[in-house]
Structure 1
Amino acid sequence: MINRQTIDKLLQTQKIYETLINEIDVGVHAIDHTGRTMIYNDKMMEIESMRKEEVIDKNFQDVFMFEDGQGSTLLNALHHKKEVKNQKQTYYNNKGKEITTINNTFPVYDGETAIGAIEIAKDVTVIERLVRKNMGINVNTRYSFDNIIGSSLAIKEVIENTKRATRTASSVLIVGETGTGKELFAQSIHNGSDRSSAPFISQNCAAIPDSLIESLLFGTKKGAFTGAIDRPGLFEQAEGGTLLLDEINSLSPMLQAKLLRAIQEKSIRRVGDTVDRKINVRIISTINEDPIEAISNQRLRKDLFYRLSVVSLFIPPLRERKEDIIQLIDFFIKKYNHMFQMNIKGVSEEVSSLLTNYDWPGNIRELEHVIEGAINLMIDEEVIEVSHLPYNFRNKSVSKSNDTYPKEPSIIGVHQFTANDKQQPLRNLKDFLLEAENYYINKALEKHKFHVTNAAKELGLSRQSLQYRMKRLDNN
């Protein structure tokens, strides 16, 4: 006979198990030996847009639908005792909604007998739709050399070298920090070459999981895996033209090896196929870090680097071409004047000084966002003043110019409010409190050498609360 203590312990264990299953950020679906659902966690409900009562204790095949000839990885694991890892599967819920997941599926045994199967799933439905949308659709190659803004010696030299690269079909590696305009140069090469009438296709290698990027690049053969159809990859889609591979250092070593083979052999093989297909594609790739450092840290294969960098272009960061900042400001003001139907004439001398002295870690993209943000705060004004600049930029630029953290606000407590201060107009309360909070948080982080947990403890906050405040202040 089971005593009360044993029952309580079993109930506690069950509660811990239920909490764990529902809190993890992957879908979990388990069936018994008859195919009926036993476990169906909250994340799986979210992925499949279904309620538990629609699935629990129901036969799996009565609930979900698959394309003709395509089976379920979960049922395959049960009936064929087959374990699969990182397999993509597309299927439909009981309302006909299409779902795509990457699954790890395996049978569950009691001794030699399979008593069920478990599937752990990651949702890639949105990414799969994006892949399909991109297939066969060229990027609007609207950029040419005329769109590159700047007259500094640094940028002129890069433009001249880039123009020379239009004469051949050699691979080009464009090196530059995030926000420097690497794709603009890539499109300029394509549009200036004899391939300009052929496709230009761009793919950010960091935006797609490894489990999908291979089929996206090389294509698939029907039957290669559950849900696979005959579909050309980006190499075939770019035939005769240019394929831009952005952030090439984010590809896994295995995919880098396959990419190297495709470039060397000038042929590709679709996933699941046995036939090699010849390709005529110019490869332009980009990297947002020093290639030598990427090789040293094993983020980029040395042999692939040599193959991609027949022509190497190094785009200078904005801090190394500050004489171009005023031209860029004028360009972005004209752009957003047209977009927002406004009539901004320019920036004040103070703003001009602030913008030209700032280091721009986010480069041209950050400058554009600052100008766009400032114009959004304007009504009838014709000149951008410091008060129009986004708060986070004002805070960072002042901090950077003083080479320190934000200064202590001029008024922290009532005891600092002197008679002279009373004669001055008061600052906006929201701006003052944000500045004070930013100062105090930075002091705590600096004191604890940016150990967030320790800083939060001294401030009397939870780690999550401090992280939220840091993020909020950075976005203001």
Structure 2
Amino acid sequence: MNIEYLQYLNRIYKRILDEVDVGVHAVDETGKTIIYNKKMMQMESMELQDVMDKNLLDVFMFKDDQSSTLVKALQEGKETRNVKQTYFNNKRREITTINDTIPIFEDEKICGAVEIARDVTKLERLIKGNMTRSGTTRYTFDSITGTSPAMKEVIESAKRAARTSSYVLIVGETGTGKELFAQSIHNASSRFSGPFISQNCAALPDNLIESLLFGTKKGAFTGAVDQPGLFEQANGGTLLLDEINSLNLNLQAKLLRVLQEKTIRRIGDTKDTPVDVRVIANMNEDPIDAITENRMRKDLYYRLGVVTVFIPPLRERKEDIPLLVKDFIEKYNERFQMNVKGLSEEVHQSFMEYDWNGNVRELEHIIEAAMNIMMDDEEIIMYPHLPFQYRSKMHNKERVAPASSVDTFIKDRADLDIPLKQQMELFEKTYIEHVWRKNNYNISKTATVLGLSRQSLQYRMKKLNIKSK
């Protein structure tokens, strides 16, 4: 059999494997992938080069109570049928399949194994439905937008923190994305398959937050039942304590004991329960200020701040604004079924001049608000689309007609005893007609000068009864 014919057969086999509606994954006796078809790539959201010629245990991750059915076939030489398996690809995405796994023998020696898999990931999610806990994480480091030097540095610091089990303190102003970083650290850590529970410490009074964190013993107080706290619920995973500096100092002392001893005692109980929880804490002020002003215990800060991640405010990384705007426009295009392409130059310039006291969250809200009032066929966010509260803060540019223009308008008109609304409409009509004439009745140029979209200008001209040439 010549080489050309073998190559021909190889192409035929590959085409057949890529056309079948099941995943096919084969490994040699060392566990290295030798066959990986198109359907398997789709099921696992992987590229061929990510898997081929690599040991599958270097690519995929399995839960503690499960092992790879392919590896098991290699080790035990037994075939299995209709076995459900849940595992994670190299991006930490959970995959669930139903597998038939068969060891391959040559001269009674195992030389490999092949797995034929059917994807039931979506079905598993539907079955879980409402059982998915509210603390499920959505964000990874890929979700964080920013290429500025400040953001690159903080992302690298957070990634290094994810490799250890140390406690983490995340410091940043409101709206900078502290929970996004916390979830990313959890998902990049060895605890990614465990629970992630988030609790805002400022949201509840002290007596409730204590029982919520540590749990209760039946009979501890009227109506008390045996109830595990968040530390027990997060066992094996991560507990995020948001606004940690809002806890009273007595509760901070109890929290410090839990962090040091790695045990909790439910309210009303007499015995300690060991817990294996990584705590990530957030705060929106400088920890040194919180300690100085007696809002945070110094010893708790030193215990929590083994790794401290400082997220820079948006005003210190304005070069990231265009990327953030792009992400938010894409998000709301999908949500609102729109086709917005970007910002006008005027809006872009105002964004780069603004202080962004509300940080990334404020930027997102402004984009969402602007797209809510845009017309369906408008593709560019113009300055008049921006929320009034934003425009009122922008004092860097004078956005009213020059006084001389107003004076001239008033001198030329005799009917000054009409209501303000009508007077404003008259001025708007006069001004649009003036700019329109100055630009030789070109709609596009006039719209650009006025800071409007073409569609918005045409709408105003129709409303003000300005006749087109």
In 2, Cα distance between the equivalents of 1:378 and 1:407?
20
CA shift in 2, pair 1:240/1:255, >3 Å: same
1:370 match: 366
2:313 match: 317
Asked if 1:394 is matched to 2:391, the reply is yes
**Aligned with residue 382 of structure 1, among 362, 379, 384:** 379
Letter in 2 for 1:199: P
Letter in 2 for 1:165: A
Partner of 2:170, secondary structure, is strand
In 2, Cα distance between the equivalents of 1:427 and 1:349?
35
Task: Report the Cα offset of residue 345 of structure 1.
Answer: 0.7
In 1, Cα distance between the equivalents of 2:242 and 2:142?
22
1:255 match: 251
In 1, Cα distance between the equivalents of 2:294 and 2:145?
35
1:139 match: 135
Any idea what the Cα deviations from partners look like across 1:159-207, whole Å, max 9, x if unmatched? 1111101111100000000000000110010000000000000001011
Partner of 2:391, secondary structure, is helix
The within-5 A match list for 1:285-324 is 285-324=281-320
In 1, Cα distance between the equivalents of 2:138 and 2:306?
25
Asked if 1:220 is matched to 2:216, the reply is yes
In 2, Cα distance between the equivalents of 1:429 and 1:224?
67
The percent of aligned pairs where both chains have the same amino acid is 64
In 2, Cα distance between the equivalents of 1:422 and 1:155?
59
Cα contact 1:348–1:384 (8 A) shared by 2: yes
**Aligned with residue 164 of structure 1, among 143, 160, 165:** 160
Letter in 2 for 1:388: H
What TM-score, normalized to structure 2? 0.58
Alignment RMSD (CA, Å): 2.9
In 2, Cα distance between the equivalents of 1:158 and 1:300?
24
In 2, Cα distance between the equivalents of 1:226 and 1:311?
41
The within-5 A match list for 1:326-365 is 326-365=322-361
Task: Report the Cα offset of residue 429 of structure 1.
Answer: 4.3
Asked if 1:283 is matched to 2:275, the reply is no
Any idea what the Cα deviations from partners look like across 1:317-375, whole Å, max 9, x if unmatched? 00000000000001000000000111101110000001111110000000000000000
Letter in 2 for 1:366: E
Cα contact 2:158–2:309 (8 A) shared by 1: yes
Any idea what the Cα deviations from partners look like across 1:75-109, whole Å, max 9, x if unmatched? xxxxxxxxxxxxxxxxxxxxxxxxxxxxxxxxxxx
Which has the larger Rg?
2
Letter in 1 for 2:193: S
The within-5 A match list for 1:149-228 is 149-228=145-224
CA shift in 2, pair 1:427/1:348, >3 Å: farther
In 1, Cα distance between the equivalents of 2:319 and 2:145?
11
In 2, Cα distance between the equivalents of 1:264 and 1:270?
16
In 1, Cα distance between the equivalents of 2:284 and 2:153?
20
1:419 match: 411
Task: Report the Cα offset of residue 148 of structure 1.
Answer: 0.4
Any idea what the Cα deviations from partners look like across 1:357-412, whole Å, max 9, x if unmatched? 1110000000000000000001121100000000000111x22x26xxx999979x
Task: Report the Cα offset of residue 422 of structure 1.
Answer: 8.7
In 2, Cα distance between the equivalents of 1:319 and 1:420?
46
CA shift in 2, pair 1:260/1:407, >3 Å: same
CA shift in 2, pair 1:220/1:428, >3 Å: farther
Tell me how many residue pairs correspond in the alignment.
Answer: 290
Letter in 2 for 1:418: I
In 1, Cα distance between the equivalents of 2:385 and 2:414?
26
Task: Report the Cα offset of residue 140 of structure 1.
Answer: 2.1
User: Stretches of 4+ moved more than 3 A in 1?
Assistant: 134-138, 406-411, 414-417, 420-423, 426-430
In 1, Cα distance between the equivalents of 2:203 and 2:315?
27
